[in-house]
A = this chain, B = another copy of it.
Amino acid sequence: MTGQPRILEIRQNVLKRNDVIARELRERFRAAGVCVVSLVSSPGTGKTMLLEKTLALLRPSARVAALVGDLATENDAARLARSGAPVRQIVTGTVCHLEAEMVRNSLADWNLAELDYLFVENVGNLVCPASYDLGENARVVLMSVTEGEDKPLKYPAIFHGADLAVITKLDLADAVEFDSDTALANLSAVNPGVHVLSLSAKTGAGMDRWIAMLRGWRGM
């Protein structure tokens, strides 16, 4: 494709610059003692719903906050702010993913030392966020039972790069005849040994294991 090498070179520079900022962020998070967990998934997998319940479950004993990325609207931030936790929306416009610089700019005036957990909800997209390190301690990829068991094979980069895979909307598993064994085999194929949790934020099933995992990450 004409011009392809030049585009590739520019993309590599963007990624390199992102990695530099992500390293700075990681160092800042470490120094502040905050555990940063990012969530990536397809649109409509239930990132915001999971976060909503997570903030409520963690809040009695932990100081939590969230950043949420979207192309447009501040709906998610408004929804999450009802938990009482500090929440900030990053409106990306036409940009299909969060970048480390957007996270840095959003956090410029935050005292991270006052937080135990910071959640970062990416734009709903199973492709582009895979390439951008945000300095997080753990990256969680979500897939819902309604999306089909093949998603890890079709979007391998994002599933490969995740520290944990969460299967959401477990309450709908029977209705969509979700084949858990196939989904687990596909997850293992692209990310051998990856830890997998299945849950329903709606019914609460599996939420205890998710909260326990978060507490483990923070060493609480």
Contact = CB atoms under 8 A, between A and B. Distances in A.
Interface of A: 1-3, 6-7, 10, 13-14, 17, 42-44, 70-73, 75, 94, 96, 101, 123-128, 131, 143-144, 146-148, 150-151, 153-157, 169, 172, 175-176
Contacts of A10: 3, 6-7, 10
A13 B10 CA distance: 14
Nearest to A149: B44
A154 B75 contact: yes
Contacts of A155: 43, 71-72, 124
Contact of A101 (B1, B156, B169): B1
In the assembly, how many copies of this chain are there? 2
A155 B2 CA distance: 30
B128 A127 contact: yes
B169 A72 contact: no
Given A43-B147, A44-B151, A72-B155, 9 more contacts: A1-B101, A42-B124, A44-B143, A44-B148, A73-B154, A75-B150, A75-B154, A96-B125, A125-B125
Contact of A124 (B17, B126, B144): B126
A43 B75 contact: no
Contact of A154 (B7, B96, B124, B131): B124
A10 to B, nearest CB: 6
A148 to B, nearest CB: 5
A147 B47 CA distance: 11
A101 B131 CA distance: 24
Contacts of A144: 44, 146
Contacts of A6: 10
